[in-house]
Amino acid sequence: MDLNEALYTTRAMRRVKPDPIPEEAVKAMLDAAVRAPSGGNNQNWRFVTVTDPALKAALGDLYRDAWKILQNTVYKKAYERAEAVGDTQTMRIRSSSEWLAENFEVVPLWVFFFSRNDPTGASIFPGVWNMMLSARGLGIGTCLTTIAGFFKSDEVFEVLGVPTDKGWVNNAAISAGYPLGRWGTAKRRPANEVVFSERWGNRPDWTVDEPLWLEPENYGRS
């Protein structure tokens, strides 16, 4: 796959089929993850793959609890506002996120990412993204999630048997499965609206009026 296609179309693909992910694909995604850079090349990471239905059920309950907390706190105002003004994009993300929470156990593979001795918390995310890009190349949809590890960390450690005295932190859990939806380019604020040139506040001389990688006709529909 063309690198830009992967960069532009690796979206939060939450709605997936229950079909299992073959071992070769699991290996490929995690081999890509460990190729990523980390601060000082410390590679202070561990990955727990979860496919077992009983474990998924336990983690699914934690994820749903975390999702409820998130909705009633951090996202409460944003969702109320979105409903009031008819912000369909936010409502779509909400409904897709709700699907993932309700169907946690349907997702065939979850990968829990752990790191330690990383004060910035940044070293794990190149690995996360490498896994997601590798999955994209294999036609597997992923979604980066953080809420279970953030709101239900102790419980996640207990379910997965992670030692609690070794400094591990659960940074993310990535869902992976064959997509129900179609691939497409992420809609974002254009770069020229969020980039400054030389000094804060100076707009660059350029604009990017449409994505620089363009989907071929009927992309993702066939």
Ligand X SMILES: Cc1cc2nc3c(=O)[nH]c(=O)nc-3n(C[C@H](O)[C@H](O)[C@H](O)COP(=O)(O)O)c2cc1C
Which residues form the interface with ligand X (CB under 6 A)?
11-12, 14, 93, 97, 100, 143-147, 186
Residue 78 has φ and ψ, to the nearest 5°, of -60, -40
- The closest alpha carbon to 101, from 79, 71, 137, belongs to 71
- Of residues 136 and 157, the one with the C-beta less far from ligand X: 136
- Of residues 113 and 168, the one with the C-beta less far from ligand X: 113
Separation CA 91–CA 83 (nearest Å): 7
CB of 25 to ligand X, least distance (A): 21
CB of 135 to ligand X, least distance (A): 13
CB of 143 to ligand X, least distance (A): 5
Query: Which H helix or E strand runs over 97?
Result: helix 88-102
Instruction: Identify any residues that bridge with 111 across adjacent strands, giving them in sequence order.
Output: 49, 174
- Of residues 71 and 146, the one with the C-beta less far from ligand X: 146
CB of 24 to ligand X, least distance (A): 26
- Of residues 88 and 204, the one with the C-beta less far from ligand X: 88
